[in-house]
Structure 1
Amino acid sequence: MPERVGSIAELRSAYREGGLTPTDQAERILDGFAGHDDGPVWISTVPADRLRERAESLTRHGDPTLPLYGIPFAVKDNIDVAGMVTTAGCPDFGYEAAEDAPVVRRLLDAGALLVGKTNLDQFATGLTGARSPYGSCQSVFGGGLISGGSSSGSAVAVAAGQVSFALGTDTAGSGRVPAALNGIVGLKPTRGLLSTAGVVPACRSLDCVSVFAPDVAGALDVLHAARAVTPADPWGRPFPAERVVPRPPGTLRLGVPRAEDLEFFGDTGQETRFAAGVERLRTFVGSSRSVPLGAFFEAGDLLYRGPWVAERLVALGDFLGSHPESVLAVTRAVLETGRRYDAIDAFRGQHRLRELRAQVDQLWQDIDVLVVPTVGTTFTLDEIAEDPIGRNAMLGRYTQFANLLDLAAVTVPNGFTSSGRPASLTLVGPAFSDTTLGRLAATLTEGGAPTGAIEADSPPPQRSAELLIAVVGRHLTGESRNAELLGHGAVLAGAARTAPLYRLYRMDTPDGEGLPGLVRAGPDGSAGHPIEVELWRLPSTALGGLLAGVPAPLSLGWVQLHDGRDVLGFLCEAYAAGPPAEDISASGGWRAYRRSAARR
């Protein structure tokens, strides 16, 4: 895996302090790609000479105060970039774009550094990441887990640290589902805030450009840099000035789905994580209440079981008719269902949708934010292959209603299930609630202290000092000693990987479970591996209590992450790494090792 490039905030700091230039960053990116196979994340990349030329221009003549100066990013390959081929995941459909899509041009003008174009479910039709002739992306968490789609490559590129942010599209959940399955933030703005001119249409009246980033702050930075109304886009809408400033979380009324409306398809791990996320979220808002989801679900069903699927044929029908063999069978099957509907069906669907929107609009009189699971369960690539359409529909249960109902949404990580699968939740609000959703999402994911109800003009409460702790084994979410972290007031901050400087060992224990130990690999770490860790925010006053419960040969020390940060973390003394300890470094982490061992 290439060296992580860092988040927007981290690169800004590095550029500001003078230790890094865009030219340096371009060389790091190229070094990471050289001779390396990360699977089918990229469909095309900016040629090395063009990347160097752009980076050098920024270094010599660029304005370091630009909001995205030198920040590397990727673009889903259904969005035009001048001089590059847009394939929409179908090689025979490909064409060379004459100009940048306005949303791409805005980012370039803000100083961003384009790296390339990413894989997707063909014609942005699907939520699995398994519908591309370029290959199926796997989640960064491995184990054959799907990446989610349709913006699969963009999500994986961000989660793997190859770029600092990426653009996707999100008509039915194509930005939120892959964010969930890769442990990152997926921002689905209000329709029209980001221009869809220069985007291959999926369902033009519902299409939406989305943003992937490692953190909420970065996603919002991209939103503000990229949003604009352009003459080329009749669907564009300005952000009302009075809605740009977010409301404080403590003033918000939270809507929580009724228990009878929640469906996890037998996945108790996702159900448990969602309940925990909701309870934590309740501590930040002013109030909460139970709400029904029936109108949301019925609206979502109209997307693929109603006349809106016919809208997909407006842009693609001619190509489908003249090049049927160029389109994947599953994609073709979905698109062809649009031929079942006529104009009467279209009007009937519009009328019913307007009735459902009126019901949902009434709910916004009582709540400000709705929280839902992003996905009810997760699947492997093999499981998707068994039922590609049915299981795709399960993935879209909590996402496909958003654009039909003119809603904004942001997806954030919500830990891991006991089996090691990523969990997430999505905050949903009415149109133009984007920044308010973002502020609440940032409060939730950054480990802030509960605020309770506060007045809109009150200063935010001060948080006590916190430390970032990297855990690698039994303290991971769902593992046997995770309760110790929770008992000390620790809050999950997200997933990460170490720099490739460490080895991971399994040491025998009387209970047979084994104890993992992370050891720095030799004087220079040259024989090391990147190892999966979780980052937890721990009150500094609780550090002593946590350390007192750490048994030998484990200790707390400094661990270097893949993005160059040094954080406190669990390490193992080298003497314990000898026989009979088992070297499990190649697995990439304790969870991956456990999954592999269970299959033996």
Structure 2
Amino acid sequence: MKAVRDIGQPAFITVLDEPPASVPDGPLAGIPFAVKDNIDIAGVPTTAACPDLTAPATETAFAVRRLQARGAVPVGKTNMDQFATGLVGTRSPYGACHSAFSPEHVSGGSSSGSAIAVALGAVPFALGTDTAGSGRVPAAFNGLVGVKPTRGLVSTRGVLPACPSLDCVTTLTRTVGDARPVLDALIAYDADDPYSRPMPALLPPGVARQMRVVAVPDGPLELDPEHQEAWTAALTHAAKIAHVVPVNVEPFLAAARLLYESAFVAERFAAFGHLLGDGADPAVRRIVLGAERFSGADAFRGLHELARLRLVAELAFTGVDALLLPVTPGHPTLAEVATDPIGANSRLGVFTNMANLLDLCAVAVPAGLRPDGLPFGVQLLAPAFADAPLLDLAARWNGEPAGPPAGRALLAVAGAHLTGQPANADLVRLGGVLHSRARTGPGHRMYTVDGPFPRPGLVRTGDGPAAGLELEVWDLPHDAIGALLPTIAEPLHLGPLTLDDGSTVLGFVADSACADPTRDITSHGSWRAYLRAVRDPLTAV
């Protein structure tokens, strides 16, 4: 790994002090990573590539803290298009980045420094953001994997906003396999982030656990000649890993145009317009201040048009799992961007701007080299919360091993199905294995409920202990879930259950009608502790 100070490009705005002597144990223990400089690290200014912003952050961003808790070590804050407004990597007073493959071609942005830090070997992974393609474009221009999760799955608390309703924290890595443990750490519900959303326990209707049908544009795209040749090869590769079907992509492209050509750009003005002082990049200033021409009525017209396009786009996913598109229509040079900074940048977003507007998850993956030797990247897009199967599809595209075995599910148990309890044998008989020991998220209470044997019911009342209640998470074949259903006596049933790490799994829960104060055993902290309190400690499990 190269030293962060010695990679030959202005990839870093701030290099952090020496890492701590010891780090927490975890799957990322000791792994260095870079952080885009619109994401807070306590004690370090979050400049967003604007020298006017010099006040140190008072708290580390939620996403960075999640990684640190798994043992990862931040080593620097990276360069970027100012205020995350740009897809070129040149809108920074700290210097323009260029592609790791060519000093004449742009690096892509706005997560330019993060991409360069990974591409040149300074760090194994880096955090970026992707509101309109800011993670996927630099990934494509530097031969990397750029993962843009479903909006809200990764908290943006501690991120200087560009468009708060659309912003996403993203990852840049060399492989899908490198991204998996990072995403496992990042994806968690944050109750203090108004845009945070928990991952559903089950995939949404219509989303397949294994993606085998990929949609591609039903007509030609306006690509530069070098890009067109690489895109043709990518379509051939797609047909080898999936069944390919043509779809009309115009609704997606129309939604992409809304982001900067309608009143949606006013969200950027609302988010950081007050920060556009003397240090503002002229192109950024022109784009953001241009939002003043839109009215409140224009904003609603944009929302109505987006609703129409979203409905049409949703229909495009009927019968298909994912959509394949190039990341960009071309790869401009630094000189071309300098000649036309607005136009060259706008063209780079024609295939990426719509992802968050349409509530899609996306993964940018390398797709070989263009005839001139520059990397070419494509993106796979799917409906919200299809992140896990989409990541598996991206791995298959790259020829990497698949993720966890398909056809299995996690089930949280807190009572009779715990290890050593009367119904645990049912889980083992059905092929279940203990996945982990965990606790509920805050807000749950536990009550005794009627049934064929003593058992508790978990009810989300909102006032349960912040530390949660003890439970186990079991890994089961999917058909085992169906086999369990007839054995579940009322008032218990299976439903989504939020765990203490913010993830959501299927679990045994009870209706609010079971919240009888006379049967409340929450104070014991667990079913086993309750049994010990009411039985002989020598015989209670």
Q: Quick check: TM above 0.5?
A: yes
8 Å CA contact 1:248, 1:439 repeated in 2: no
* Aligned-residue offset at 1:241: 2.0
- How far apart, in 1, do the equivalents of 2:347 and 2:225 lie? 15
- AA at the equivalent of 2:233: A
Q: Percent identity?
A: 47
Structure 2 CA distance for partners of 1:68 and 1:259, relative to 1, 3 Å: same
2:222 is matched by which residue type in structure 1? Answer: E
Trace 1:288-437 onto structure 2 (pairs within 5 A).
288-320=244-276, 323=277, 325-437=278-390
The change in CA–CA distance for 1:447 and 1:99 in structure 2 (over 3 A counts) is closer
1:38 to 8, 15, 20: 8
Q: How many residues align?
A: 404
Which SS does the other structure have where 1:443 is aligned?
Answer: helix
* SS of residue matched to 2:89: coil
Structure 1's unaligned 5+ residue stretches are 5-31, 450-454, 459-600
Inter-partner Cα distance in structure 2 for 1:231 and 1:247: 29
Q: Which runs of 5+ in 2 are unaligned?
A: 409-541
Which residue pairs with 2:230 in the alignment? 273
Alpha-carbon deviation of 1:91?
Answer: 0.9
Q: How far did 1:352 drift? A: 0.7
The DSSP-based 3-state class of the residue aligned with 2:355 is coil
| Alignment map for 1:116-155 (pairs within 5 Å) | 116-155=76-115
Summarize deviations over 1:395-432 as a string: whole Å, max 9, x none: 11110010000000000111111111111110000001
**Structure possessing the higher radius of gyration over alpha carbons:** 2
Q: How far does residue 375 in structure 1 lie from its aligned partner after superposition? A: 1.0
211, 222, 226: which one aligns with 1:263: 222
Q: Match of 1:403, SS?
A: helix
Classify 1:213/1:447 alpha carbon distance in 2 versus 1 (closer, same or farther; 3 Å). closer
Q: What is the CA deviation profile of residues 39-69 of structure 1, one whole-angstrom value per residue up to 9, with x for unaligned ones? A: 2100001113xx1xx1x213xxx42xx1211
Displacement after TM superposition at 1:141 (Å): 0.6
In 2, are the aligned partners of 1:88 and 1:94 still within 8 Å (CA)? no
**Pairwise mapping of residues 194-213 of structure 1 onto structure 2 (< 5 A)?**
194-213=154-173
Q: Pick from 143, 164, 176 the counterpart of residue 216 of structure 1.
A: 176
Check conservation: 2:35, 2:77, Cα contact below 8 A.
Answer: yes
Contact 1:155/1:166 (8 A) holds in 2:
yes
Indicate conservation of the 8 Å contact 2:146/2:364, yes or no.
Answer: yes
1:447: Cα distance to partner?
A: 6.2
Following superposition of structure 1 onto structure 2, how do residues 502-513 of structure 1 map, counting pairs within 5 Å?
none
Q: Which amino acid aligns with 1:67?
A: P
Partners of 2:60 and 2:41 lie apart in 1 by 4
SS in 1 for 2:354: coil
Deviation (angstroms), 1:259:
2.0
Partner of 2:251, secondary structure, is helix
TM-score by length of 1: 0.65
Per-residue CA distance 1:114-172 (angstroms, 9 max, x = gap): 11100000000000000000000111112311100000000000111101111100000
Instruction: Give the secondary structure class of the aligned counterpart of 2:107.
Output: coil
**Closer/same/farther in 2, CA of residues 457 and 37 from structure 1, 3 Å limit:** closer
Kindly provide the amino acid, as one letter, of the partner of residue 186 in structure 2.
Answer: A
Deviation at 1:37, TM superposition (A): 5.5
SS at 1:242's partner residue? coil
Which segment is superposed worse, 115-124 or 233-242? 233-242
C-alpha RMSD of the superposition = 1.9
Q: Deviations over 1:218-252 (max 9, x none)?
A: 112211111111122000011112239x9565x52
Aligned-partner Cα distance in 1 for 2:280–2:69 = 35
Q: Is the 8 Å Cα contact of residues 7 and 122 (structure 2) preserved in structure 1?
A: no
The 8 Å contact of residues 360 and 383 in structure 2, kept in 1 or not, is answered as: yes
**Offset, 1:317:** 2.2
Structure 2 CA distance for aligned equivalents of residues 143 and 153 of structure 1: 14
- Please tell me the residue identity of whatever aligns with 2:238: L
Paired residues of 1:258 and 1:292 also in contact (CA < 8 A): yes
Local SS of the residue matching 2:92: coil
Displacement of 1:288 in angstroms is 2.0
Report Cα offsets for 1:293-338 as digits up to 9, x if no partner.
1111111111000111111111222223xx2x22111110011111
Question: CA separation in 2, counterparts of 1:85 and 1:356?
Answer: 40
